[in-house]
Amino acid sequence: MRPATTARLALAASALPLVLGLVAVRPATAQTAPVAYEGYALTGVAAAARTNGDVGAGGGLATLDTATGSVSARVDSAPSTAVLAAPVEPGTLVRTLVGQGNAAAGEQVFDVPDAEAQFPGSQLEAELTTVPASDAGVASARGGSATAEVTETSAMGTATGQVLDVSGLVRVDAATSEVSLSAAPAKATTTSTARASVGRVVVAGVLVLNDVVAMASLTAKGDQHVPVASLVVGGATVGGQAVEISDRGVTAADTPLVPGQSIEDANAQVNAALAAAGISVSLVDTTTAADARSATADTGSLTVRLTTPDLPNGIPGNRLEVVLGGVALTATDSLAAPVLDSGPPVDVGPVDLGGGAAPSTTTTFVPGTPGTPGTPGGALAEAGPLVAAPPAQAAGFVVAGRQLPAAVALAAFAAWQFLSLGTATLYAVVDRRRRATLAEAVA
């Protein structure tokens, strides 16, 4: 290899550590303190099917606000948690009558079958395995089960209802609901899930709905909140004709039942059958919202309204609303303030005000006023003020994503200096040999 080439390579090698340092080495960034939740509140409600309205035309109208497969739960940072799960929710009127009857008897004579748990409290879990058949006038129910379980930071409940029949107008089969809420405040995370489903619903013997499923979830980690909600109708028929339910209403699906009939004819026939039975169907859209401190998820619902004609002599007809798949979740939280650790106090000793000696004290005597000359220094001066040490800062560098201590960085710098100085020396030796070679050639 020629001496000139060797010198160029040595010069390039000396610059290589500098280039690598500029590209790969970065000052170490401050480490983010662990995040925790100081406060949080979670709620969840799931009802496979709810009813509302006035039914019982001809036999005396009764206000109805029942539900089947109903679960409600909450968790907050008080701490306080609670779950109420009911295979059949009899409604406000029935619960009021039960409460009044028990209060008048001075003991629990009547009971609404449900599973309830609460923290703080003595009942942290409950289970209802079999619900006997019950009749609340215009509404009757048969079978079901429920569970409820809570801890300091979690709540979970399930409920199933086999059959709910409302005055022969609406029948709901195989209703199930479940809600699960949990929080890990030290890790700044919360998780909420809920699901409600109905196997089959028959309205006035005309509209049949199958497999209505509503699901929602909320996950939170620090400032990130992710809500999800969905509502799915597995299938539906009107008078035996398969239909689809969407924001456009009820439309015929698949092949019309009558050969040669068009889809438009099938649509008209389907809606005519619903109108004749006094049935209207609507969908409430799912909604989700989230920001840095809260989130909501609502599956919306499939709402069926049934209205029957008024009877003679001014007797009003039935007005009934059935809501399927109602699931709603909410979550709010607040971050804990970071704790600043300034280290142990440091004793700096007596404070020197200058001159190296404690200041002198002069006492002036005033007749008739007792006085005592002050003592230079004193306990306060001997102890000196206490000053908090500044927070410790870990020195270091980040190289290719890995943090290196200052000692490693110092060793790398020493190696770089050795290479730089050694390369310059090598270059000088090579250049001197080149000059000697040229002188010999000239001689």
Q: How far apart are CA 366 and CA 360, in angstroms?
A: 20
Tell which phi-psi region holds residue 58, choosing left (phi > 0), alpha (psi between -120 and 50) or beta. left
Three-state DSSP state, 124: coil
Taking a C-beta distance cutoff of 8 angstroms, is the pair 202, 170 a contact? Answer: yes
Tokens of 377: 């220094």
Q: With beta carbons less than 8 A apart as the criterion, state whether 161 and 88 touch.
A: yes
How far apart CA 211 and CA 206 sit, in angstroms, is 17
By DSSP bridging, strand 279-284 and strand 301-307 are antiparallel
391 prior amide bond cis, ω within 30: no
Task: Fill in the amino acid letter for 241.
Answer: Q
Peptide bond before residue 120 is cis, with ω within 30 degrees of 0: yes
Residue with tokens 């080495």: 25
CB count within 10 Å of CB 107 equals 7
Q: Are 100 and 109 in contact (CB under 8 A)?
A: no
- CA-wise closest residue to 383 among 351, 344, 349, 358: 349
Could you report how far apart the first and last alpha carbons of the chain are, in Å?
Answer: 23
Please list the pLDDT of the chain residue by residue as tens digits (443 residues): 565 565 566 556 656 665 665 555 555 554 455 689 999 999 999 999 988 887 765 555 566 777 888 999 999 999 999 999 988 877 665 566 556 666 766 766 556 678 999 999 989 999 988 666 666 566 677 778 899 999 999 999 999 988 888 877 889 999 999 999 999 999 999 999 999 999 999 999 999 999 999 999 999 999 999 999 999 999 999 988 899 988 788 888 876 666 777 878 888 888 999 999 999 999 889 999 999 999 999 999 999 999 988 877 777 778 889 999 889 999 999 998 766 555 566 565 565 555 555 555 555 545 555 555 545 544 444 445 554 555 544 555 666 666 667 777 777 777 777 777 766 676 777 777 777 777 777 76
In angstroms, the CA 327 to CA 44 distance is 8
Stated as kind and residue range, the H or E segment containing 4 is helix 3-24
Task: Give 98-103's long-range contacts (Cβ < 8 A, gap of 24+).
Answer: none
Pick from 279, 233, 271, 277: which is nearest to 251 by CA?
A: 271
**β-pairing verdict for 25-27 and 115-119:** unpaired
- The pLDDT assigned to 380 comes to 43
Structure tokens at 335: 């971050």
How far is it, in rounded angstroms, from Cα 194 to Cα 331? 13
For 170, the enclosing helix (H) or strand (E) is strand 170-184
- Contact present, 227 and 193 (Cβ < 8 Å): no
pTM above 0.75, yes or no: no
The whole-angstrom separation of Cα 153 and Cα 382 is 52
- Contact between 112 and 90 (Cβ < 8 Å): yes
Q: How far is the CA of 163 from the CAs of 55, 138, 160, 228, 291, in angstroms?
A: 18, 14, 10, 29, 40
